[in-house]
Amino acid sequence: MVNHPLIRFKSPAHHDILMFGAVAQALIGLMGLSGRVPSALAAEDIPAARARLLAGLEQPPAAAPITAPKAVEGQDDDEAQLVPLARRAIPLLAMLEVAHARQTHVLWEAAA
């Protein structure tokens, strides 16, 4: 699995979502998918993937929280804000819900 700095999620039913690669990879993994980039979910596969993602987010974290790269040059590691994975998943969950309602796909790719 290649580590991409940024991953863009796309769907005809929703605006694009740009995420840090490590966060996106973690969410893709919780959906029970391979983690390949680029890849996609067909409309009929979205409910099961969304259910697995929600179930995975309810489990206690097995590893250290995922942090975003430093936002400010010179910022100490201790100053970096930790955002829970469940909070970072909110936009993707919304995209999956809307895509399912409109019976369309969701895809993701490395962002340039």
Contact 30, 52 (CB under 8 A): yes
More confident call, 72 vs 94: 94
Is residue 65 situated within a structural domain? no
Element containing residue 47 per DSSP (H, E) = helix 46-58
Is residue 72 situated within a structural domain? no
What is the reported pLDDT for 82? 83
Is residue 73 situated within a structural domain? no
Q: What tokens were used for 43?
A: 């409309």
Is residue 33 situated within a structural domain? yes
Contact 7, 25 (CB under 8 A): yes
What is the reported pLDDT for 88? 95
Decide: helix, strand or coil at residue 87.
Answer: helix
Cα–Cα distance between 75 and 66 in angstroms, integer? 17
Longest dimension (CA), the chain: 46
What's the pTM? 0.82
Is residue 1 situated within a structural domain? no
Backbone angles phi, psi at 70, to 5 degrees: -55, 130
Number of independent structural domains in the chain: 1
Is residue 30 situated within a structural domain? yes
Is residue 71 situated within a structural domain? no
User: What is the span of the domain harbouring residue 103?
Assistant: 6-60+81-110
- Is it the case that residue 21 has pLDDT exceeding 90? yes
Is residue 88 situated within a structural domain? yes
